[in-house]
Amino acid sequence: MMKRTAYLTLTLLLGASLCACNPDKPKDIEEGPSGLLTADPIEWDGTKNAEITYQLLVYSFADSDGDGIGDFQGIIDKLDYLDSLGATALWLSPIHPAMSYHGYDVLDYAAVNPDFGTMEDFRALVAAAHERDIKIYIDYVLNHSGSDHPWFLDACASAGSPYREFYTFSENPAADIEAGRIPMIASEGANGYDSGQWFVASNDAEGVMEFVMDWSNPAAPTVTVTRTDAPADPENTAPATDNDKFLYAGDPGQYFKFYDDGGGMYSLTVDFNSPWGFLIRTEGTDDWTPGTKYGAENSENAVIQYGVKMPLFSSEDNNAVRDILMPGTLFYHSHLWTSWFADFNYGPAAQAEQSPAFQELVRIGQGWVDAGVDGMRLDAVKHIYHSETSDENPTFLAKFYDAMNGYYQGSEPFYMVGEVLSEHNVVAPYYAGLPAAFDFSFWWRLSSGINSGTGNTFVKDILSYQQEYAAVRPDYIEATKLSNHDENRAGSDLGESTAKMRLAGAVLLTAGGEPYIYYGEELGYTGVKDNGDEYVRIPMNWGDSYNTKLSSYTDKSEITLPTASVSEQAADASSVFRVYKDFAQARHACPALAHGRMVRHDLYNETLASLPALCAWIMESEEGRVLVLHNFSGGEINFLLHDTVTGTVSVQGEVSMDRGGDVPRLTMGAYSSVVFNI
């Protein structure tokens, strides 16, 4: 051992080092040959003690055949890279044939997208990953299929279709919801109706129609609609009067002026194509705000019958008057306000396992288990049943998980993680249905803390969220993350600062939970969603022929890849990549980081107002304890280190220690991190 000096300087100049983290063999802080002090590092032996999942989009990751689209063989060829990064599982974006490049509008749940390869290629990927102790999780979309799925097309074509029960249909959505006739939107009552979430499945209400209004008794007007073979009337250009009446067609927004036939009678013949029906207005304007509108009294009586008088009710008497719906129009529900998704119907949550859709998706899911899949990521689980805060979704998810886990024959339980894009308090109840859930609050508090230079409240917040999760499921799995495919890249949210990105990666890999790394995050990728999701899903820059091309699988123009390739970043000690790789290896090598629990520090916490930038906690397990310290600010901080440290596990940024006094003084440079054995 080199002679210890009074002033120990641990300055790794944006590099990172790690040690064994073996409590039975304490490591001392030593001087390196250049005068810098290192931590007696050892090589990681490759044993994966932690759980670190790598999220990749198959189409963006690695292209083995030169067609510009990522594929299964490309992932196989890059498994050594993922293995060296410490990945224990891969979450693959949807691998099924789909309407869109992203895959969330599935066309066949039992098949693989031919752009990615064959089913044999997928099985080869699973086998190659398992050889490296890497599990495979697939994205499984339970809320909806694509609206071009053969099941849905068949369901729309015939009321007798065996798939009619698979989806949520209605001829009068508002009335059916209010009456509780739609199980997927039952718990909210009338408040569950949102016209923007309903789309036309089939529409017989097209063609030339005659509208006749009897306004002879202004207190009780009526309207009659009749199909006709007569030609549509020309536009009514008569001068405006106080008696003018207008027909408003809801989709698309159009308005037509009635002809005044005298004696309080009005008529109009139009070529009608508005599945959402119509209203009557008394002012001639395309502005919906002023004037009086007339329509159906309520949702239950909103559908008109051809040739039958229908009473009109005004907004002056009833502000909730409804559009008058045309007969023969069938609507389907799509919770994400797009006609490309068709929501499944599982019936009441308490009996969901009896529904044909549930049974079929379980059957197909079990087929993926037979193909070697180790787990599933479930998309947008708070939108399966309409209410995100009732117990319906957790109830459904528990049934689905039990069906999959009961079939799985692995040495550990089947893995299933749900996406609940909400704060912790909304996420917590979902642990009643699933063993794992993404902790979006983790990233939102972390990015806010780093950008504001405030670290001392982070641990208090995270521990309070963990208590919420544990109250629902004691063995909860907190899936921590920075960004993902639906959010701005972490690098952009951190102002494209390499130092901040390095710090965020170090926090992710030293905190509790089971971390996810979004592909490219380890390379410091940036990207914002302003021009579309594609710009946070850009190709991986391998620096070789495996680069994919955005323009090969979307209609967006080619973009510029990040300048530094994987190989260039791996060789750069100051890169974001080196932090991810070194801290991931430290997490595997150190039992306290690998599977310890996060503990609040007695001194360095939210009560230490003099050091708001310092973020500190202890990770402890039966095998040992480590002290984790991060500087969330862009300035230097220094403080007395009252813990007895026996060695350094990992460091990023500039950190130095002065042992000249009775108590060592630690100086941490901007956005730096250090983990000590204690």
Q: Per-residue pLDDT tens for 421-467?
A: 999 999 999 999 999 999 999 999 999 999 999 999 999 999 999 99
Asked whether residue 309 carries a pLDDT value surpassing 50, the answer given is: yes
Whole-angstrom distance, CA of residue 302 vs CA of residue 296: 5
Average pLDDT over residues 653-678: 90
Q: 553: part of which helix (H) or strand (E)?
A: helix 550-553
In the chain, the amino acid numbered 614 is L
Asked whether residue 36 carries a pLDDT value surpassing 70, the answer given is: no
* Range of weakest confidence among 37-46, 81-90, 443-452: 37-46
Asked whether residue 289 carries a pLDDT value surpassing 90, the answer given is: no
Q: Name the percent of the chain lying above pLDDT 70.
A: 91
| pLDDT-derived band at 290, boundaries 50, 70, 90 | low
Return the residue matching tokens 């002012």: 283
Asked whether residue 27 carries a pLDDT value surpassing 80, the answer given is: no
What pLDDT, on the 0 to 100 scale, is given for residue 298?
85
What pLDDT, on the 0 to 100 scale, is given for residue 26?
39
| pLDDT-derived band at 238, boundaries 50, 70, 90 | very high
User: In this structure, what DSSP letter does residue 102 have?
Assistant: T
* Range of weakest confidence among 290-299, 420-429, 592-601: 290-299
For residue 189, give every residue at least 6 positions away whose Cβ sits within 8 Å of its Cβ, in sequence order, or none.
Answer: 177, 178, 180
| Interior/surface letters 287-325, b for 16+ CB within 10 angstroms, e for the rest | eeeeeebbbbbbbeebbbeeeeebebbbbeeeeebbbbb
Average pLDDT over residues 79-92: 97
| pLDDT-derived band at 319, boundaries 50, 70, 90 | low
In the chain, the amino acid numbered 564 is A
Average pLDDT over residues 631-640: 96
* Tokens, residue 42: 């050892």
More confident residue, 187 or 31: 187
Whole-angstrom distance, CA of residue 238 vs CA of residue 176: 41
Asked whether residue 485 carries a pLDDT value surpassing 50, the answer given is: yes
Whether residue 646 contacts residue 662, with contact meaning beta carbons closer than 8 Å, is answered with no
| pLDDT-derived band at 170, boundaries 50, 70, 90 | very high
Asked whether residue 112 carries a pLDDT value surpassing 50, the answer given is: yes
| pLDDT-derived band at 253, boundaries 50, 70, 90 | low
Out of 38-42, 296-300, 600-604, give the one with best mean pLDDT.
600-604
Q: Locate the DSSP E strands across 593-640.
A: 597-600, 614-621, 624-631, 637-640
What pLDDT, on the 0 to 100 scale, is given for residue 215?
96
Q: Name the percent of the chain lying above pLDDT 90.
A: 79
Average pLDDT over residues 35-49: 63
Mean pLDDT of the residues in the chain: 90
pTM given for the model: 0.89
Asked whether residue 3 carries a pLDDT value surpassing 50, the answer given is: no
Whether residue 165 contacts residue 355, with contact meaning beta carbons closer than 8 Å, is answered with yes
What pLDDT, on the 0 to 100 scale, is given for residue 16?
46
End-to-end CA distance of the chain: 20
Active site residues: 379, 419
What pLDDT, on the 0 to 100 scale, is given for residue 264?
96
| pLDDT-derived band at 372, boundaries 50, 70, 90 | very high
Average pLDDT over residues 546-571: 87
Asked whether residue 86 carries a pLDDT value surpassing 60, the answer given is: yes
Q: How many residues does the chain have?
A: 678
Asked whether residue 18 carries a pLDDT value surpassing 70, the answer given is: no
Average pLDDT over residues 642-668: 89
What pLDDT, on the 0 to 100 scale, is given for residue 274?
83
Asked whether residue 89 carries a pLDDT value surpassing 90, the answer given is: yes
Whole-angstrom distance, CA of residue 262 vs CA of residue 285: 22
What pLDDT, on the 0 to 100 scale, is given for residue 489?
97
* Range of weakest confidence among 60-64, 127-131, 553-557, 641-645: 553-557
Quick one: how far is CA 245 from the chain centroid? 47
* Tokens, residue 660: 């000249």
Whole-angstrom distance, CA of residue 598 vs CA of residue 448: 20
| pLDDT one-digit tens code per residue, 197-227 | 999 998 887 889 999 999 999 999 999 999 9
Average pLDDT over residues 122-132: 98
